[in-house]
């Protein structure tokens, strides 16, 4: 198998992607992916080599990812908007053989010399004449790694979740062929979620390509523009993170704006009840909530197909086993809370080059400890009630406090820093930094912004005399929450 092969079965004349005024057909996408395969083969890229793709939500991302998968390589999607220091931290861990550069990441060429990794410009690759002898798709085993997804961990260092061809395939089936009324070839899907995140990548983009649907790309989410695209292209599948749903729910759009939408999906963080109700009351759209994570390649539970229960993330999708356990690993009684432990075909293969962290969360027989805490009711509905992991979710994106703290501590005026999550109506959670030291806060803010992706930057700084540190040296974050 090779998940890159899924597009080859569609009519080449069919429209696959829309990007502004440009439409790319399945035939053109396949030809562009073949050009990328040729370019990578010319650079002797082998199966299992690591290929980073630095792009925005643009057609070149898709031909690059399919082309790299096609030669059997492992693809690491990277956001074009990453500040250079953050990108360098990530590259130091993944050490790719090459970086494929999209239109939205042209700025990186200025730094080509210092990065120490060869750059390959995708625009140039796409403008080469097609050759008849592009290397064929390399056959892969279901367990071979397809994507390596960047996240970060408790230490703050980049952590890379490896997802196999089989994992991705399972995640795609869960929302297309595996469910009643799943994604179909006639669907028109809004591609506004970032393609470097698992939700935008697998649930939206790759699943739509697999079934032969049309994806209308939005390079950067903007409320007005998204409404224009929904109307113009008669979008039938709308997927968003909760902050996007909040914005859509608040607008007084002309009647019928959302009339074409038949599947509405929210994920990546909890969908607030008031947003769900406003979408239903104001626009007649019933938003389905899914719960999943990078390490599971797709959804574990969904509210689809069963009456909605407030604050619940629904029930387990077919093929997924979920058990809630206490601190000793013993299953809890129904109605009691416990850490969510899951097993299924989408569960990842482990973290790249980090056996210790992998062993901490993944057992030999395939059970993954999610770090989320849940409760089941007696009808099998899951409610997420807490997290054991030190994670802050801003607009659906994961922020690990340690990564932000490490950066803040690099500032000469900071003696200590502890970061916690605060509540935010717009973004769900927000990053709050507690600082010891003499740093000028405006300057510290600029320092953070130059080194961290925007959503990871603190929105508030509090200067304190002392930080809560246990005798073991461990920071007691809950004291600051």
Q: Both ends of the chain: CA-CA distance in Å?
A: 47
Answer for which of 200, 267, 350, 458 binds ligand AMP (CB under 6 A) is 267
The answer to whether residue 313 forms part of the interface with ligand AMP (CB under 6 A) is: yes
Q: Which residues contact 378 (CB under 8 A, 6 or more apart)?
A: 334, 335
What ranges in 257-381 are assigned the alpha helix state H? 273-283, 355-361
Residue whose CB is nearest to ligand AMP in the complex, by number: 293
**269 lies in the binding site for ligand AMP (CB under 6 A):** yes
Residue closer to ligand AMP (CB basis): 271 or 414 = 271
Is 293 a binding residue for ligand AMP by CB under 6 A? The answer is: yes
Among the listed residues 172, 294, 302, 406, the single contact to ligand AMP using CB under 6 A: 294
174 binds ligand AMP (CB under 6 A): no
Q: CB 428 → ligand AMP: shortest distance, Å?
A: 9
In angstroms, what is the minimal distance from the CB of 171 to ligand AMP? 12
Q: What is the nearest approach in angstroms of ligand AMP to the Cβ of residue 269?
A: 5
The C-alpha atoms of residue 250 and residue 236 are separated, in whole angstroms, by: 20
Contacts of 472 (CB under 8 A, 6+ apart): none
Per CB under 6 A, does 276 bind ligand AMP?
no
Size of the site for ligand AMP (CB under 6 A): 16
Distances (CA, A) of 471 to 49, 222, 475, 480: 44, 47, 9, 17
Q: Which is nearer to ligand AMP, 63 or 82 (CB)?
A: 82
Q: Does 381 bind ligand AMP (CB under 6 A)?
A: no
Q: Which of 87, 94, 270, 452 binds ligand AMP (CB under 6 A)?
A: 270
Is residue 74 a contact partner of residue 49, using CB atoms and an 8 Å limit? yes
CA–CA dist 3, 168 (Å, integer) = 8
Closer CB to ligand AMP, 37 or 304, in the complex: 304
Per-residue b or e along 244-257, where b marks 16 or more CB atoms closer than 10 Å to that residue's CB: bbbbbbeeeeeeeb
Pair 27, 12: CB distance under 8 Å: yes
For ligand AMP, the binding residue among 289, 339, 403, 405 (CB under 6 A) is: 289
Question: Cα separations (Å) of 96 from 41, 48, 50?
Answer: 15, 11, 5
Residue from 370, 395, 406, 427 in contact with ligand AMP (CB under 6 A): 370
Q: Which positions from 192 to 231 touch ligand AMP by CB under 6 A, shown as an x/- string? A: ------x---------------------------------
Q: Give the sheet arrangement for strand 158-164, strand by strand.
A: 119-121, 98-101, 50-55, 74-79, 145-152, 158-164, 350-351
- Is there binding between residue 104 and ligand AMP (CB under 6 A)? no
Instruction: Compare residues 52 and 391 and give the one whose CB is closer to ligand AMP.
Output: 391
Q: Least distance in Å: CB of 272 to ligand AMP?
A: 10
- Distance between CA 387 and CA 399 in Å, rounded? 13
Distances (CA, A) of 167 to 162, 239, 299, 315, 365: 9, 21, 11, 20, 16
Tell me how far, at minimum, the Cβ of 292 lies from ligand AMP, in Å: 6
Distance CA 55, CA 99 (A): 10
Positions that interact with ligand AMP (CB under 6 A)? 198, 267-270, 289, 291, 293-294, 313, 370, 372, 384, 387, 393, 398
């Amino acid at each position: 198998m090779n998940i890159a092969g899924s597009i080859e079965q569609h009519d080449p004349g069919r429209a696959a992607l829309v990007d502004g005024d440009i439409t790319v057909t399945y035939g053109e996408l396949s030809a562009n992916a073949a050009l990328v395969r040729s370019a990578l083969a010319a650079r002797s890229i082998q199966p299992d080599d690591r290929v980073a793709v630095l792009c925005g939500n643009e057609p070149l991302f898709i031909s690059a990812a399919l082309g790299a998968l096609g030669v059997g390589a492992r693809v690491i999607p990277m956001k074009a908007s990453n500040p250079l220091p953050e990108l360098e931290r990530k590259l130091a861990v993944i050490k790719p053989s090459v970086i494929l550069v999209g239109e939205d990441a042209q700025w990186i060429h200025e730094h080509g010399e210092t990065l120490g990794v060869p750059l390959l410009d995708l625009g140039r690759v796409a403008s080469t004449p097609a050759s008849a002898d592009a290397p064929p798709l390399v056959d892969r085993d279901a367990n071979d790694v397809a994507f390596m997804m960047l996240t970060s961990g408790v230490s703050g260092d980049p952590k890379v979740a490896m997802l196999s061809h089989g994992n991705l395939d399972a995640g795609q089936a869960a929302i297309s062929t595996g469910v009643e009324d799943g994604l179909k070839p006639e669907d028109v899907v809004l591609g506004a979620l970032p393609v470097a995140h698992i939700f935008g990548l697998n649930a939206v983009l790759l699943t739509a390509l697999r079934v032969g649907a049309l994806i209308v790309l939005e390079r950067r989410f903007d409320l007005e523009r998204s409404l224009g695209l929904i109307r113009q292209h008669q979008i039938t599948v709308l997927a968003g993170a909760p902050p996007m749903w909040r914005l859509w729910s608040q607008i007084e759009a002309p009647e019928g704006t959302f009339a074409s939408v038949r599947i509405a999906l929210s994920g990546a963080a909890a969908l607030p009840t008031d947003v769900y109700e406003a979408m239903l009351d104001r626009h007649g759209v019933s938003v389905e909530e899914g719960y999943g994570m990078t390490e599971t390649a797709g959804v574990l539970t969904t509210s689809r197909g069963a009456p909605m229960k407030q604050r619940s993330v629904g029930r387990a999708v077919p093929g997924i086993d979920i058990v809630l356990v206490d601190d000793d690993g013993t299953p809890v009684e129904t109605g009691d809370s416990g850490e969510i432990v899951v097993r299924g075909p989408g569960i990842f293969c482990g973290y790249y080059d980090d056996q210790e962290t992998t062993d901490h969360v993944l057992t030999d027989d395939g059970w993954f400890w999610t770090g989320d805490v849940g409760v089941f009711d007696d009808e099998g509905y899951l409610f997420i009630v807490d997290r054991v992991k030190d994670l802050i979710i801003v607009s659906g994106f994961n922020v690990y406090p340690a990564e932000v703290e490490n950066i803040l501590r690099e500032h000469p005026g900071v003696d200590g820093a502890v970061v916690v999550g605060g509540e935010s109506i717009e973004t769900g959670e927000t990053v709050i930094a507690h600082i010891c030291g003499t740093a000028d806060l405006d300057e510290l803010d600029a320092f953070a912004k130059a080194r961290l992706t925007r959503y990871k930057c603190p929105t508030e700084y509090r200067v304190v005399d002392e930080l809560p540190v246990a005798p073991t040296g461990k920071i007691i974050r809950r004291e600051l929450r």
